[in-house]
A = this chain, B = another copy of it.
């Protein structure tokens, strides 16, 4: 059963990255909010359910992306590389790919994008700092830098062309938090759905940035300035705390992954 009930209905939504972890979750959850759900990825998307349209589309293929956005009311853009990798795939999927997506939105007249950014655009803040979306970006890797690029690009497309974006700086969206860092960064799938639907249906978003997390007891991110989006998480990492802490009693304070919000990303790479 979907976590959200909402009366706003879109003729055609596009979900990119639909074969990924979050994409598979959102596939069923977004369907009730639209007549047609177009799904794209470079990986296999299985069989189209009723009301679904499937497209295998490499984001770096400009023409293919232009076609992908034809007739679309709004985009949920999860596509691209989602972990720290060598530069070339990040360049192609996240930089060239996001440029292609916004250009296609401009040419096809799409008015709103929900852009999966990442907490890794600010991963070099310490775990004892509470930040908000106006604090300067401090990416923790090339992946984080590419998401910072995407946010800058989205801001430009709003200021120049009026295409609205909600940039979601997603924490850790899994079935459960896996370590003590995720007690702060965890976002349940139901809350992910709440966040995406609120971002799609809020009347006016301009260019807005919001951190994606559940109502966790431990918080690094202050979403006060994004309260206009109407995202109110209902879940929490708290039920998982005892188990997580039991598994990870001690921490190595010489490990930057312990000190910084980005966790292990801050010490991944360089790859050559």
Bound CA–CA A5/B231 (angstroms): 29
Q: Is the pair A206, B126 in contact by a Cβ cutoff of 8 Å?
A: yes
Q: Is the pair B144, A204 in contact by a Cβ cutoff of 8 Å?
A: no
With a cutoff of 8 Å between Cβ atoms, the chain B residues found around residue A227 in the complex are 130, 218-220, 222
Instruction: Report A240 CB to chain B, min CB distance, Å.
Output: 11
With a cutoff of 8 Å between Cβ atoms, the chain B residues found around residue A242 in the complex are 5-7
Q: Tell me whether A96 is interfacial, beta carbon within 8 Å.
A: yes
Q: Is the pair A228, B218 in contact by a Cβ cutoff of 8 Å?
A: yes
What 1/0 flags go to A10-26 for Cβ under 8 Å of B? 00000000000000000
Q: Is the pair B6, A245 in contact by a Cβ cutoff of 8 Å?
A: yes
Q: Is the pair B246, A7 in contact by a Cβ cutoff of 8 Å?
A: yes
Chain copies in the assembly?
Answer: 6
Q: Is the pair A138, B124 in contact by a Cβ cutoff of 8 Å?
A: no
The closest CB in chain B to the CB of A215 belongs to: B232
Q: Is the pair A130, B224 in contact by a Cβ cutoff of 8 Å?
A: yes
Bound CA–CA A148/B95 (angstroms): 13
With a cutoff of 8 Å between Cβ atoms, the chain B residues found around residue A42 in the complex are none
Bound CA–CA A130/B124 (angstroms): 20
Knowing A134-B136, A245-B8 touch, does A141 contact B128 (C-beta < 8 A)?
no
15 contacts between A and B (CB under 8 A): A5-B242, A7-B246, A95-B149, A124-B155, A126-B204, A127-B203, A136-B155, A139-B152, A139-B156, A144-B156, A145-B153, A183-B230, A204-B258, A219-B228, A220-B228
Other contacts beyond A9-B249, A127-B228, A219-B228: 4, CB < 8 A: A126-B206, A128-B202, A145-B152, A145-B153
Question: Which 8 residue pairs are nearest across A and B when measured between Cβ atoms?
Answer: A219-B227, A218-B230, A7-B245, A7-B246, A148-B152, A128-B206, A124-B159, A127-B204
